[in-house]
Amino acid sequence: MKSYKELPNDAGSNIIGQVTAQADRLQKRLASVKHTVAIMSGKGGVGKSAIAANLAVALTLRGNTVGVVDADINGPTLAKMMGVRNATLEYTPAGVKPAVAGLGTKLISMDLLLAEDDTPVLWNAHTQKDAFTWRSTMEVGALREFIADTVWGELDYLLLDLPPGSDRLPNVAELIPNLGGVVVVTIPSEVSQLVVKKSVTMARDVLKVPIIGVVENMAFYVCQHCGEEEPLFSADETLDDAFQQVLLGSIPFDPRLARCSDTGIPYIDEYPDTPASKALIQVTEKIQNFFDEKTQRSL
């Protein structure tokens, strides 16, 4: 298949000009962002989005200006998790204004552009059976648009919540060549760690993107009555040594966190003293330290 750059003519659409102009806008927007962080896993359903939402809140509560890109175009969940599902996006000549959650965190998500709850994202292919050939190209295009055409303003942190799949980070790395780092999420199961390792190799060895560290999610369960910790997975399923060395924190399973995600309430603000909130705050501090040290080194 030819890329758009090789097309002999563009039927007057000036597609190369449009893409180049958008790429320029993207670089200008990123110039106002201090740190970009991708939250990824490779494995689905391990809590990437819930952790991204809570890290965004924790960073905001610590005085940072924070934007979040829901990079899951087909299965966006962050508008619901951050309580802005009913937000109406405002379009201005400078671009679209992001939705702003209660504590001030900014968000852009495909969910904010879909008409109804059950509206799926349909890529404009000849038939939907052909759509898979377009998916990756269209997803990158949508992502470029999200970053380039959103009026983010000055940001300390821009978090990107990636969909599952180890093939997603290359798209982001292409759009953001100086991606600040990656937070990798896994659960303790061997099945999850097997897939997550592939994503780590992709990030570290292939794309040369810094790994900030690993978050072990749903690591254990804390009894809400007696405070005792119970493992959620078998005792044999512990975090691999390679992951242990770069562990940012272990987040316990807390049904209240799931409920807060469903109702759009910021969990760490609502339940600041729970073991899960304390672990999330510890992860946030380590992410900030990572960037503080990086800044020190570059001085």
Ligand X SMILES: Nc1ncnc2c1ncn2[C@@H]1O[C@H](COP(=O)(O)OP(=O)(O)OP(=O)(O)O)[C@@H](O)[C@H]1O
Q: Which is nearer to Mg ion, 97 or 254 (by Cβ)?
A: 254
Decide: 155 and 78 in contact? Cβ < 8 Å.
no
Taking CB under 6 A as the criterion, which residues in 19-48 touch ligand X?
41, 44-48
Least distance in angstroms from the C-beta of 297 to Mg ion = 32
Interface with Mg ion, residue 261, by CB under 5 A:
no
Side-chain-facing half-sphere of 91: CA atoms under 13 Å:
3
Query: In this structure, how many other beta carbons lie within 10 angstroms of the beta carbon of residue 203?
Result: 24
Interface with Mg ion, residue 49, by CB under 5 A:
yes
Q: Which is nearer to ligand X, 30 or 40 (by Cβ)?
A: 40
Interface with Mg ion, residue 186, by CB under 5 A:
no
Strand partners, 164: none
Rounded Cα gap, residues 186 and 189, in angstroms: 8
Least distance in angstroms from the C-beta of 122 to ligand X = 19
Secondary structure (DSSP) of 27-59: HHHHTTEEEEEEEE-SSTTSSHHHHHHHHHHHH
Tell me the CA distances in angstroms from 10 to 5, 20, 83, 137, one per residue in order: 10, 14, 42, 17
Binding-site size, Mg ion (CB under 5 A): 2
Interface with ligand X, residue 248, by CB under 6 A:
no
Q: Contact letters (x/-) for ligand X, 111-150, by CB under 6 A?
A: ----------------------------------------
Contact residues for ligand X, defined by CB under 6 A? 41, 44-50, 72, 75, 77, 163-164, 217-218, 251, 253-254, 257-258, 261, 276
